[in-house]
């Protein structure tokens, strides 16, 4: 087993593991009645336009990608959300210097001092495993905690590991850590031909980054084609990497000796945009979204039009929802350009009030139907059979207290609350904050009646729905942005 000289692994892991759960900022460490909740008064129609933030799943991969560069880089359009903050903490723990101003993040990874990512941070966010590729190819060694499973599935990293081994890395997993180093006397990873058994987004990104500084050519076949993979490739190319074919199922990378500084702007978040398209459809409201890249939303737009909602492209980067009577349809989640699994829950909330029966099949993650029970609490009629949900449309949903179980499930419950009669209370907001940049602030700007209530504000706000003199909305929203 390979162990960095100055770290006693087992003791380090044990302490960290125990501490992380008890650390005061771990959301689940707060007693339930101290966790913020979201109160939603449904049936308000929305209007106006909403600004879409930078893409979370691009930002996380690109932030791992800065480790490839021994110069300073500037990232623009970086969303403000908990997962991005966690990735910043991981980069800082590895010795990267960061300076954040709003949506701009200046990074300096010229002197990364560590090849080991901290357990307590990585264990809270799977995407941090993406640092293994850049660390290994830049330093020749990397130790990253094995990201455990999460609410939506086991989520192994075997494809990442096998790809790195094909590029000449020795990889062993011990005590919950993945230790990787360049085999033998070579100092660099070697180009290789890698066929992915499944077009995994994460594995494609890890191997593409590892290949940028490897010796020779790497071909990744059956690669993921998601827009976030292409955005990461464009970022690496802006630093001087030689990558072609990103966005297709075959990516070719010719390794280079080093990468240089760049100033890069992250693409808009297609999943946040998709969530707002559904917000318009489910509340029967006409709203506009910008900036967006309509092509990235093609499968989502196609399904909305099948359901009866028109999506109009008012400008190359602007979409408008024109609501209509909702009809049932069937959905099967697939790797891009198929229907995104990250939009499955939001569409289930929509189809819950569509005319007729819909079948939703989740094929990407094995445990991503946990929002069904919560939607049924709101009067939906959904049955689960294996990885299929049979949705029998009902005339309306009714407000109820519900619990979010994962990131996209939390968004679905917020959307259901907007459409429901009466008041909905959403708990488990730490899921929402992980992946949405001020969702409720943006929704309330569109006219939604909702309020985040923290224990402090609970007592005073109890009686007053939004719009009454002592409404506390402004206070709640300010608690969202971690950087203030
Ligand atoms: C990315 O996760 C996204 N996360 C996910 O978004 C998204 O749902 C997913 O891609 C699919 O589009 C980020 O980019 C940070 P995968 P990732 O590797 O890379 C199996 C959200 O809501 N698999 O494409 O982890 C795996 O178990 C999140 O924003 C292996 O078996 O997804 C899963 O069933 C949730 N072995 C399937 O492939 C591996 O080594 C797809 O996973 C890797 C993956």
More confident residue, 114 or 333: 333
- Which residue's alpha carbon is at the smallest distance from atom 27 of ligand 1? 155
- Is 55 strand, coil or helix? coil
pLDDT in tens, 195-216: 999 999 999 999 999 999 999 9
Beta bridge partners of 252: 219, 244
User: Among 155, 335, 367, which is best to mutate for testing ligand 1, by the most ligand atoms less than 8 A from CB?
Assistant: 155
Is residue 472's pLDDT more than 60?
no
The confidence band for 278, taking pLDDT boundaries of 50, 70 and 90, is very high
The confidence band for 480, taking pLDDT boundaries of 50, 70 and 90, is very low
The confidence band for 32, taking pLDDT boundaries of 50, 70 and 90, is low
* Contact status, residue 280 vs residue 288, Cβ threshold 8 Å: no
Q: What pLDDT is recorded for position 9?
A: 40
The rounded radius of gyration (Å) of the Cα atoms in the chain is 23
More confident residue, 463 or 115: 115
* Contact status, residue 371 vs residue 345, Cβ threshold 8 Å: yes
The confidence band for 1, taking pLDDT boundaries of 50, 70 and 90, is very low
Token pair of 63 as six digits:
């932030």
Is residue 403's pLDDT more than 80?
yes
Give the residue numbers annotated as catalytic, written as ranges: 150
Q: Relative to the CA of 199, which ligand 1 atom is closest?
A: 24
What dihedral angle (degrees, nearest 10) is formed by the CA atoms of 230, 233, 235, 240? -150
Per-residue exposure over 82-112, b if at least 16 CB sit within 10 Å of its own CB, e if not: bbbbbbbbbbebbebebebeebebebbbeeb
Token pair of 337 as six digits:
């350009």
Say if residue 440 is preceded by a cis peptide, omega within 30 of 0: no
Is residue 92's pLDDT more than 50?
yes
The mean per-residue pLDDT over the stretch 30-38 comes to 77
The mean per-residue pLDDT over the stretch 183-189 comes to 77
Distance from residue 156's CA to the centre of ligand 1 (Å): 9
Per-residue exposure over 211-233, b if at least 16 CB sit within 10 Å of its own CB, e if not: bbbbbeebbbebbbbbbbbbbbb
Is residue 89's pLDDT more than 50?
yes
Q: What pLDDT is recorded for position 468?
A: 44
Distance from residue 202's CA to the centre of ligand 1 (Å): 6
Q: What pLDDT is recorded for position 20?
A: 46
Ordered DSSP codes for 196-220: -SS--HHHHHHHHHHHHTSBSEEEE
Write the burial class of residue 158 (CB in 10 Å: 0-12 exposed, 13-18 middle, 19+ buried).
exposed
Q: What pLDDT is recorded for position 187?
A: 77
pLDDT in tens, 122-155: 877 888 999 999 999 999 999 999 886 677 888 8
The confidence band for 401, taking pLDDT boundaries of 50, 70 and 90, is very high
User: Among 200, 220, 228, which is best to mutate for testing ligand 1, by the most ligand atoms less than 8 A from CB?
Assistant: 200
pLDDT in tens, 165-175: 999 999 999 98
Q: What pLDDT is recorded for position 186?
A: 67
The mean per-residue pLDDT over the stretch 237-254 comes to 98
- Is 159 strand, coil or helix? helix
Q: What pLDDT is recorded for position 75?
A: 98
C-alpha distance from residue 287 to each of 72, 274, 279, 280, 407 (Å): 39, 12, 9, 6, 23
- Is 229 strand, coil or helix? helix
Q: Relative to the CA of 153, which ligand 1 atom is closest?
A: 27
Residue 93, phi-psi category: left (phi > 0), alpha (psi -120 to 50), beta (remainder)? alpha
């Amino acid at each position: 087993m390979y162990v960095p000289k100055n770290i006693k692994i087992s003791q380090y892991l044990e302490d960290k593991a125990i501490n992380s759960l008890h650390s005061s900022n771990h959301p689940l460490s707060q007693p339930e009645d101290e966790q913020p909740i979201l109160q939603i008064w449904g049936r308000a129609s929305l209007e106006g336009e909403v600004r879409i933030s930078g893409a979370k799943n691009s930002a996380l991969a690109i932030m791992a990608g800065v480790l490839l560069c021994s110069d300073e880089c500037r990232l623009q359009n970086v969303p403000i959300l908990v997962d991005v903050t966690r990735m910043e903490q991981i980069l800082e723990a590895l010795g990267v210097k960061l300076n954040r101003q709003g949506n701009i993040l200046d990074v300096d990874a010229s002197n990364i001092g560590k090849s080991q990512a901290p357990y307590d941070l990585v264990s809270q966010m799977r995407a941090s495993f993406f640092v293994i590729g850049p660390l290994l190819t830049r330093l020749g060694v990397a130790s990253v905690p094995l990201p455990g499973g999460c609410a939506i599935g086991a989520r192994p990293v075997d494809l990442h590991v096998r790809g790195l081994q094909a590029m000449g890395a020795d990889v062993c997993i011990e005590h919950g850590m993945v230790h990787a180093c360049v085999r033998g006397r070579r100092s660099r990873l070697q180009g290789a031909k890698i066929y992915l058994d499944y077009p995994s987004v994460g594995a494609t990104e890890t191997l593409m980054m590892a290949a940028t500084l490897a010796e020779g050519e790497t071909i990744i076949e059956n690669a993921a084609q998601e827009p976030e993979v292409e955005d990461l490739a464009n970022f690496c190319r802006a630093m001087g990497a030689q990558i072609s074919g990103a966005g297709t199922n075959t990516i070719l990378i010719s390794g280079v000796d080093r990468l240089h500084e760049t100033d890069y702007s992250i693409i808009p978040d297609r999943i946040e945009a998709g969530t707002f398209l559904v917000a318009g459809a489910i509340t029967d409201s006409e709203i506009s979204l910008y900036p967006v890249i309509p092509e990235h939303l093609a499968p989502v737009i196609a399904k909305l039009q099948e359901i009866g909602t028109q999506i109009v492209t008012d400008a190359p980067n602007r979409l408008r929802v024109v609501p209509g009577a909702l009809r049932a349809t069937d959905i099967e989640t697939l790797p891009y350009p198929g229907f995104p699994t990250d939009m499955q829950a939001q569409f289930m909330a929509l189809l819950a009030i569509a005319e007729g029966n819909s079948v939703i099949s989740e094929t990407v993650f094995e445990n991503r139907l946990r929002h069904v029970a919560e939607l049924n609490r709101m009067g939906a009629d959904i049955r689960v059979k294996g990885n299929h949900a049979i949705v029998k449309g009902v005339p309306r949903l009714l407000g109820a207290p519900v619990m979010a179980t994962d990131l996209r499930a939390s968004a679905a419950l917020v959307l259901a609350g907007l459409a429901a009669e009466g008041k909905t209370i959403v708990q488990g907001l730490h899921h929402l904050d992980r992946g949405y940049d001020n969702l409720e602030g943006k929704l309330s700007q569109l006219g939604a009646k909702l309020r985040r209530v923290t224990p402090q504000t609970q007592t005073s706000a109890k009686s007053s729905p939004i719009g009454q003199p002592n409404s506390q909305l402004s206070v709640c929203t300010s608690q969202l942005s971690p950087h203030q």
